[in-house]
Structure formats: structure tokens, C-alpha cells
Structure 1
């Protein structure tokens, strides 16, 4: 197949179908009639020799070939769009739009206060939204442009994504002030003897810590298990429980909730917190600006490691 066999608008329509999964919605987005969308899809099916989308009660489901085609088509369209608009200057003070960040509840606690304050001063017309990494298909939503960037420990975002290291941090033990462990040093025996709060944070790499401790034979008396970190401060403040958490979260919770934290007695690896963006958004002025703000506010080292910037 040659490029001359295709109309660029057909590829745009294909990409809209990948995102919307409904002919009626694509027709609205592109300002076409539903028969026109169906006719264009029929031509694409004939050109590619594949059904591309199968009609189901829940919408148009892409075939394996369409899934395979989606990333290169989306990347090519994004590069064309960026090339055509490369001279358009992005002025955050004059832009009115919404932007979405994928992050955990840890991220909302650690990053959002400073980020929102910065945007209110420099980009008052930008409305910020967050989505929990585990509540959406983050990979698909970033590819489709529904999520602009993601921040956190996200091992599932590899092929097709760029990433930039923000910082490394260790895990610590967090508990209320006056707790019997609230002293200069915490031993592994003390840790084993304590009652624990465990957070099962789906969709992130934090669960590997519990797995590593199990493999190392570190047994704990788990008194409470919760699915997120947002209630940790309230729970520890009023109980004798101990939680293993990332250090920056401990720093944010310690003063407001009257908590203390100590280095973890187990040999746990440091974790890397990165900002991620899809390759299709790499040259987007708005995306470049947002991730630049994030790096300026939170990156420990402003020097970009080329190995970390690779997709």
C-alpha cells in the first residue's frame, strides 16, 4: 500500500474510532453524518483487508490488526499536527483549557498543593483534573490524549512512553508521636513485634515492597489492610499501628497528624518517582509546559539523563 492510496482524513477518522468506539460520536466530533463515517470505514476496511472494528452492544471493538495499527497512526498524526503548529507560541497565562494528570493518592498529597498554587499564578485559565492510576486504563487514556501526563512509580508505562526522573526516595516506618517505637532507632525485631497497617495500592509498584519483605522472611502482624494511602494519617494518629510508606508522604503527614517516622530496618530498595508522557504528546507545547512545571517544582536534579528520556 502506498500513501497515495489513503486520504489523511481517513486516518483521522480511524484514530477517532479508536478513542470513541462509536460511529455516532465520531460523526459529531468530525462534523460528518453517520453514513459518511460508515462509508469511510468501509473504504478503510477494503484498503487494509481487515474488519478493523467489530460492532458490539458496547460499541465498536477494534480488531487485533487495528490495535497494532493504532500506535504508529496516532504517532504519525501527532507529529504532523506538531509540525504544522510548531510556530504557535504557548502562553499559559492566556490559555483556557483543562489538563489531566494520572497519579495515586500519594501524588495528590505530595504534588497537588504546590502544583495548584503554581498554576493559579501562572495559568489561571487552566483547570487541572486528576485520575487514579488504577481507576482507568492509563496506557490507553494517555495514548488517546485523555490523560496528559502521569506521575509516580508506574512500571507498566514502558513502550511508547517517555519518562523523566523526578527523585528517588526510601521507605520509612510511620507511626504516631509517643508510640513505643518513637525513639532514635528502629530494629527489625521491633518492627516484627509491632501491629501494622498495610496499604495495597493497585496499579503502582508499591506492592513490590510487601512482596520483597515476604520473600525475605519478614513476618508482620497485619491488623488492618486498606486500598489507598489517603486515610493513613487519620488511622495512625488514633492507633498503635505502624505503616511502611514512601518518605515524602511521611514528611507531608508528620506535622498535620502528629506523626513520627524512622528509617526502615529492613533492606528495601529506593524507589524512583518519574513523570511520564506518551510519545504522541512529546512535542505538544501544552504538554511540554506542564511537565516542565512538574520537573521544576519536584525534580531533585534538573539535568536530564538521556537513558531515562528514552521511550
Structure 2
């Protein structure tokens, strides 16, 4: 007999019959009807080529073959049950685990300084590997389990993924201290007349903002295109250019001494920044711990 020919549900019935010594008691224990137990026993007899139980003056008595199967089947069922019910334990204080987290450059600037401080207190042996979400096939990497979490606006990660909202993201105009916008305010007329730095951050929520401005036919005098946010603050400090940036990024990445912000005169909808993980890691204890740590800190920070 091969394993694929064996109905494991029938072994559970056999185990209960051996334990209870009665078809009626076995049926009650299994939540089955007595005829269903009898039917299962008949199938077992045909499958194993043995009577398994005989009716004697003492009631239902197992054959020697059934008694021989008793302990191996009980052991196998215990192993299966323990494996299914096993809860993995993750202790950050003793763990040396490395977590791969997908982030944009804005995400690195905003999340990593605070996250590393949290980890230094929670578990000195834990390390983080930041993966740029546009540099890999993010869906494939998360489905395979090679990337533990992703943070940001990632609408392409839908089927098979879980997500939890951290906060809503607003966009503001960023410019140097002493810029006319600081005293006169940022009107639409002034916004359209100003020189702009445009960030071409493909694969991120910011690219959707750029597309929205284009569809709305907002006039902008774009003098510089950059692929990410890394140099934006430095450029704005020494020019009269302005840039549209996430408000949380502006607060976290730049001090108030050299740069200032103003509400954007163009109606830009808020977007949700989420922490995402694949079903592959949904029950992983380390993954659960890290995403809860991120949620508790960063969701509270933006409330």
C-alpha cells in the first residue's frame, strides 16, 4: 500500500475505536453518527485486509493486527497535532535574525532612524537589510519569503498580501527659509510661477502625485528632475526652487532652521502608508513581532 492510497481520516476513526472500545463512544468523541463510524470501519477492513475488531462476549475486541497498529497510529496522530498546533516563539532579546524590509528612499529616511533605535533596545542581535522596492520584483521576493515586510503605498501588492495602515500621508510645498512663500504664502499663481524640482520616483506613491498634477494640467516650471528625494533638501536650501514632498518626510528629514513648508495650493488627495506582508509570513513569530513594533511606534507617531 502507498501513502496516497490511505485515507488518514480513517486512521483517526481507528484510533478512537481502539481508545474507546465502542463504536457509539467513538462516534460521540468524533462528533460523528454511529452508522458513519461503522461505515468507516468497513472501509478500513477492506483497505487493510483485516477484521480489525471482533464482537465477543466482552464487546468489541481488537484483533492482534489492530493492537499492533495502536501505538504507531497514536504516535503519528500526536506528531501531526503537535506540528499543526505548534506556536513558534520569537525572543528579540536573544535573536540574531536579519529582516529584509522593502522601502523607498523616503521610507529609509523616515522610518529607519527611529526603527534602529527601537531595535537597539529590543534586541541587540537583530539586523535590518533595507531593500529598495523598485530594484527587485517585490511581489516575487515577498511571495518567496526573501523579503519580510514592505512599507509604503504599494497598490500592486493585492492578492495574497496582508496590510495594516500606519498613517495617512499629506503633501506640502517645501522651500528654503526666507523664500517669498514663507511670508506671502503659497498661492496657486505663485506655485505655478515658481521653479520646481520634480522627483521621478517610479513605483512609489509619489509617481501617482506627479501623474495627477499632469492630468489636472497644473502649470509648473520644472527646472530639475531627480530620481529620488536624497538631494532635494540640499538643492532647495541654496535656491528659490520648491518641491512637493510628503509632510511626514519633511518633518522627519529636515530641521526648521534652513527649510520651511506651506500647504500645497493644489488639492492633492491623501494617501495611506501601510506595512505589508505576504501570507507566507503571516504566522511567522518574528515577522509578527516586527510588524507590530512598527505599527505601535509609527501609527502612534502620526496620530
Q: Kindly state the Cα deviation for residue 273 of structure 1 after the two structures are TM-superposed.
A: 0.2
Q: Kindly state the Cα deviation for residue 88 of structure 1 after the two structures are TM-superposed.
A: 3.1
Distance 1:197 1:263 in 2: 17
Q: Kindly state the Cα deviation for residue 103 of structure 1 after the two structures are TM-superposed.
A: 0.5
Distance 1:112 1:154 in 2: 18
Does 1:110 pair with 2:107?
A: no
Distance 2:243 2:272 in 1: 20
Q: Kindly state the Cα deviation for residue 233 of structure 1 after the two structures are TM-superposed.
A: 1.1
Unaligned runs of 5+ in 2: 6-79
Residue of structure 1 in register with 2:180 after alignment: 180
Distance 1:3 1:130 in 2: 44
Distance 1:223 1:3 in 2: 70
Give yes or no for contact 1:237–1:257 (8 Å, CA) kept in 2: no
Q: Kindly state the Cα deviation for residue 131 of structure 1 after the two structures are TM-superposed.
A: 0.6
Number of residue pairs matched by the alignment: 228
Does 1:292 pair with 2:288?
A: no
Q: Kindly state the Cα deviation for residue 269 of structure 1 after the two structures are TM-superposed.
A: 0.2
Does 1:215 pair with 2:215?
A: yes
User: Deviation digits for residues 270-310 of structure 1, max 9, x if unmatched?
Assistant: 0110000001111100000010010011014999xxxxxxx
Structure 1 stretches (4+) deviating beyond 6 angstroms?
none
Q: Kindly state the Cα deviation for residue 212 of structure 1 after the two structures are TM-superposed.
A: 1.2
DSSP 3-state at the match of 1:111:
helix
Q: Kindly state the Cα deviation for residue 87 of structure 1 after the two structures are TM-superposed.
A: 2.9
Distance 1:126 1:301 in 2: 23
Aligned-residue CA RMSD (Å): 2.5
Give yes or no for contact 2:110–2:253 (8 Å, CA) kept in 1: no
Give yes or no for contact 1:166–1:301 (8 Å, CA) kept in 2: no
Give yes or no for contact 2:177–2:257 (8 Å, CA) kept in 1: no
Residue of structure 1 in register with 2:130 after alignment: 130
Q: Kindly state the Cα deviation for residue 253 of structure 1 after the two structures are TM-superposed.
A: 3.1
CA shift in 2, pair 1:170/1:4, >3 Å: same
TM-score normalised per structure 2: 0.71
